[in-house]
Chains A and B, each alone.
Chain A
Amino acid sequence: MPLNARIAPAQTVGQKACVIALSTCWGDLVRLLVDHVLRVTCTRRVDSRSVKCSTTTRQAPPNPITAHHRQHIVMFNWFHKFGSPRWCYGILGRLCLIAALATGLLLVVGVVWGLAFAPVDYQQGHSYRIMFIHVPAAFLAQSIYLMMAGAAAVFLIWRMKLADLAVQCAAPVGASITFLALATGALWGMPTWGTFWEWDARMTSTLVLFFLFVGMIALRSGLEYGPAAARACAILAIVGAVNIPIIKYSVDWWYSLHQTSSITLTEKPSMPASMWMPLLIMVVAYYGFFFTVWMMRIRTEILRRERRTGWVRDLTDGATQ
Chain B
Amino acid sequence: MTGFLLILRRDLMIAWRRPADVGNAVAFFVLVVVLFPLGMGPDRALLAAAGPGVIWVAALLSALLSLETVLRPDYDDGSLEQMAVSSRPFLPLVLGKIVSHWVQSGLPIVLLCPVLAVMYFLPADAIGAMILSLLLGTPTLSLVGSIGVALTLGARKGGTLLAVLILPLYVPVLVIGTLMVAAGAEGASYTAHGLMLGALLALAIGFAPLATAAGLRLSIGR
**Binding between chains A and B:** yes
Binding site for B on A (CB under 8 A): 3-4, 7-8, 10-11, 13-15, 17-18, 20-22, 24, 26-27, 30, 208, 211-212, 214-215, 218-219, 222-224, 226, 228, 231-232, 235-236, 238-240, 242-243, 246-247, 249-251, 253-254, 257-258
Query: Which A residues are CB-close (under 8 A) to B151?
Result: 219, 232, 235-236
CA distance A282 to B131 in the complex (A): 49
Is there an interface contact between A246 and B172, defined as CB atoms closer than 8 Å? yes
Is there an interface contact between A250 and B172, defined as CB atoms closer than 8 Å? yes
What is the predominant secondary structure among interface residues of chain A facing chain B? helix
Per-residue CB contact flags for chain B residues 192-222 toward chain A (1 = under 8 Å, else 0) read 1111101110110111011100110011011
* 6 pairs from A and B in contact (CB 8 Å cutoff): A11-B191, A15-B195, A21-B202, A212-B168, A235-B151, A250-B176
Does chain A have a CB within 8 A of B114?
A: no
CA distance A105 to B145 in the complex (A): 46
CA distance A13 to B157 in the complex (A): 41
CA distance A139 to B158 in the complex (A): 32
> Nearest 3 A-B pairs (CB), nearest first?
A14-B195, A21-B202, A17-B199
Query: Which A residues are CB-close (under 8 A) to B154?
Result: 223-224, 228
Is there an interface contact between B161 and A218, defined as CB atoms closer than 8 Å? yes
CA distance A208 to B218 in the complex (A): 27
Q: Which of B152, B172, B200 contacts A222 (CB 8 A)?
A: B152
Query: Which B residues are CB-close (under 8 A) to A238?
Result: 211
CA distance A218 to B167 in the complex (A): 13
CA distance A146 to B217 in the complex (A): 25
Query: Which B residues are CB-close (under 8 A) to A20?
Result: 199
Per-residue CB contact flags for chain B residues 116-149 toward chain A (1 = under 8 Å, else 0) read 0000000000000000000000000000000100
Is there an interface contact between B203 and A219, defined as CB atoms closer than 8 Å? no
Is there an interface contact between A223 and B155, defined as CB atoms closer than 8 Å? yes
CA distance A177 to B189 in the complex (A): 40
CA distance A27 to B94 in the complex (A): 14
Q: Which of A14, A26, A228 contacts B196 (CB 8 A)?
A: A14
Is there an interface contact between A7 and B188, defined as CB atoms closer than 8 Å? yes
Does chain A have a CB within 8 A of B175?
A: yes
Query: Which B residues are CB-close (under 8 A) to A239?
Result: 147, 169, 211
Q: Which of A26, A246, A257 contacts B200 (CB 8 A)?
A: A246
Is there an interface contact between A14 and B202, defined as CB atoms closer than 8 Å? no
Q: Which of A215, A218, A224 contacts B222 (CB 8 A)?
A: A224
Binding site for A on B (CB under 8 A): 91, 147, 151-152, 154-158, 161, 164-165, 167-169, 171-172, 175-176, 179, 182-183, 186, 188-189, 191-196, 198-200, 202-203, 205-207, 209-211, 214-215, 218-219, 221-222
Query: Which A residues are CB-close (under 8 A) to B188?
Result: 3-4, 7
- B158 (CB) vs chain A CBs: closest residue: A222
| A200 CB, nearest partner CB in chain B, Å | 14
Is there an interface contact between B202 and A22, defined as CB atoms closer than 8 Å? yes
Is there an interface contact between B203 and A21, defined as CB atoms closer than 8 Å? yes
Q: Which of A4, A218, A219, A247 contacts B172 (CB 8 A)?
A: A247
Q: Which of A11, A231, A240 contacts B168 (CB 8 A)?
A: A240
Is there an interface contact between A250 and B155, defined as CB atoms closer than 8 Å? no
Query: Which B residues are CB-close (under 8 A) to A10?
Result: 192, 196
CA distance A219 to B167 in the complex (A): 14
Is there an interface contact between A253 and B199, defined as CB atoms closer than 8 Å? no
